[in-house]
């Protein structure tokens, strides 16, 4: 897996992406159904996850919260409202419990402050990838990506690591977040799950 | 001329002293608040956007300043785009409410409170947990609605 550094679009990039990418992906998601969707998404190579919020900041979410991609596809998170991060569940990210494949590199976008700010990760290792938003994890702003087969720590229960050596200081997934994750079967069946 | 009774003298003297004390206290209060009426408020207050990853101007709230020692409750002082004080904001974590934590003697930027808003917020840099915004507005709802 290769993780790109946090990058901000140039003015032309913002205009280009706002005009083209959402339209392409919206069309892909709107018309998604089975193998046709997979082929289209694979051809596009890039999927977009929007980081959302209502005006008061009371409701925050990733849109979609669950998505299936093929190995090698690039996932882009883009801020629509509020301030967010996309951060992998991994001990290197503040001792959070491991919920991405063991061989995958963790990512942390840092704070994305302005609408249009974005962050990309290329996902190459098969498995389940759980991630969260740092300021909103306690409120349940989390997401799940399945790359290829639904395997690895992210496919296990939230307390799978209890009693294992070296995990004593791992932080559990907050209760509100546990309730938000779409289940794996649904993602595999529907490919895209919105909250 | 009839001499003033000693009890009456004490009463007049007491009233004068009390009046002076009240006037001094009011004057001191006004002076203490005045430096907060316009941004930046000075003292230990820092612009929130210089402390955490938040935009300078937050729609619906304004430009926020806080004394870091008072986090997370605040007060946060909010200013409009012209730098005029619009509200005093407190941010109270839900877990602190559930734990029955007390918040006493929180400072107020101005004695004039037009109305109060209280609403839930899922979190943001600086207070990364669910909490309530308690906003003492020093301006009308119409003025507050202009903070876009």
Could you list the pLDDT tens digit for every one of the 195 residues in chain A? 444 444 433 333 333 333 333 433 432 333 333 333 443 344 458 999 999 999 889 999 999 999 999 999 999 999 999 999 999 999 999 999 999 999 999 999 999 999 999 999 999 999 999 999 999 999 999 999 999 999 999 999 999 999 999 999 999 999 999 999 999 999 999 999 999
Chain B within 8 Å of A113 (Cβ-Cβ)?
yes
Q: Is the pLDDT of residue B10 over 80?
A: no
Chain B within 8 Å of A65 (Cβ-Cβ)?
no
Q: Is the pLDDT of residue B123 over 90?
A: yes
Output the pLDDT for position A3.
44
Q: Which residue of A has its CA nearest to B59?
A: A55
Output the pLDDT for position B36.
86
Helix ranges (DSSP H) in chain B: 6-34, 48-51, 94-98, 141-145
Output the pLDDT for position B41.
94
pLDDT, tens only, B54-78: 999 998 999 999 999 999 999 999 9
Mean pLDDT of B111-116: 92
Output the pLDDT for position B110.
81
Output the pLDDT for position B9.
63
CB spacing of B53 vs A55 below 8 angstroms: no
Portion of chain B with pLDDT greater than 90, in percent: 69
Domain that holds residue A66: 2-193
Question: Domain locations in chain B?
Answer: 1-34, 46-145
Buried b (16+ CB within 10 A) or exposed e, B12-38: eeeeeeeeeeeeeeeeeeeeebeebee
Residue A62 has phi, psi (to 5 degrees) of -90, 140
| Rounded-to-10 torsion of CA B82, B88, B90, B91 | -10
Query: In chain B, which residues have their Cβ closer than 8 Å to the Cβ of A138?
Result: 123, 128-130
Nearest chain B Cα distance for residue A80, angstroms: 14
Beta bridge partners, B124, equal B127
| Rounded-to-10 torsion of CA A99, A102, A104, A110 | 40
Output the pLDDT for position A84.
97
Q: What does each C-alpha distance from B54 to A129, B51, B73, B137 come to in angstroms?
A: 27, 8, 17, 21
CB spacing of A57 vs B122 below 8 angstroms: yes
CB spacing of B53 vs A113 below 8 angstroms: yes
If one compares B148 and A115, the residue with the highest pLDDT of the two is A115
Output the pLDDT for position A17.
37
DSSP label at residue B92: E
User: Residues 1-30, chain A: which have Cβ within 8 Å of B?
Assistant: none
State the CATH number of the domain containing residue A16.
2.60.40.420
Residue B88 pLDDT class (50, 70, 90 cuts): very high
Chain B within 8 Å of A139 (Cβ-Cβ)?
yes
Question: What class is the B46-145 domain?
Answer: alpha beta
Output the pLDDT for position B2.
61
Mean pLDDT of B12-35: 50
CB spacing of A57 vs B124 below 8 angstroms: yes
How many domains does chain A fold into? Answer: 1
Query: In chain A, which residues have their Cβ closer than 8 Å to the Cβ of B128?
Result: 134-138
């Amino acid at each position: 897996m290769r993780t790109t550094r946090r990058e901000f679009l140039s003015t032309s990039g913002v205009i280009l992406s706002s005009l083209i990418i959402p339209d392409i992906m919206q069309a892909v998601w709107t018309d998604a159904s089975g193998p046709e969707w997979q082929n289209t998404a694979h051809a596009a190579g890039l999927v977009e996850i929007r980081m959302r919020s209502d005006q008061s900041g009371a409701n925050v979410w990733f849109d979609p919260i669950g998505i299936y991609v093929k190995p090698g596809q690039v996932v882009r998170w883009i801020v629509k409202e509020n301030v967010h991060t996309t951060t992998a569940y991994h001990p290197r990210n503040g001792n959070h419990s491991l919920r991405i494949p063991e061989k995958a590199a963790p990512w942390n976008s840092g704070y994305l402050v302005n609408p249009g700010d974005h962050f990309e990760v290329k996902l190459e290792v098969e498995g389940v990838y759980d991630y969260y938003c740092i300021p909103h994890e306690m409120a349940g702003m989390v997401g799940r990506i399945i790359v290829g087969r639904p395997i690895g720590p992210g496919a296990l229960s939230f307390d799978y690591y209890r009693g294992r050596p070296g995990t004593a200081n791992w932080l559990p997934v907050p209760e509100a977040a546990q309730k938000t994750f779409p289940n794996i079967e649904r993602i595999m069946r529907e490919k895209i799950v919105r909250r | 001329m009839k001499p003033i009774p000693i009890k009456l003298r004490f009463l007049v003297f007491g009233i004068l002293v009390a009046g002076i004390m009240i006037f001094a206290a009011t004057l001191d209060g006004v002076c203490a608040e005045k430096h907060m009426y316009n941004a930046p408020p000075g003292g230990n207050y820092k612009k929130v956007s210089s402390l955490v990853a938040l935009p300078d101007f937050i729609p619906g709230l304004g430009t926020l300043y806080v004394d870091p020692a008072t986090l997370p409750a605040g007060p946060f002082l909010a200013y409009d785009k012209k730098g005029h004080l619009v509200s005093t904001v407190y941010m109270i974590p839900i877990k602190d409410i559930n734990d029955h934590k007390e918040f006493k003697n929180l400072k107020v930027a101005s004695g004039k409170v037009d109305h109060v808003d209280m609403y839930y917020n899922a979190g943001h840099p600086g207070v990364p947990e669910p909490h309530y915004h308690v906003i003492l507005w020093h301006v009308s709802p119409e003025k507050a609605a202009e903070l876009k």
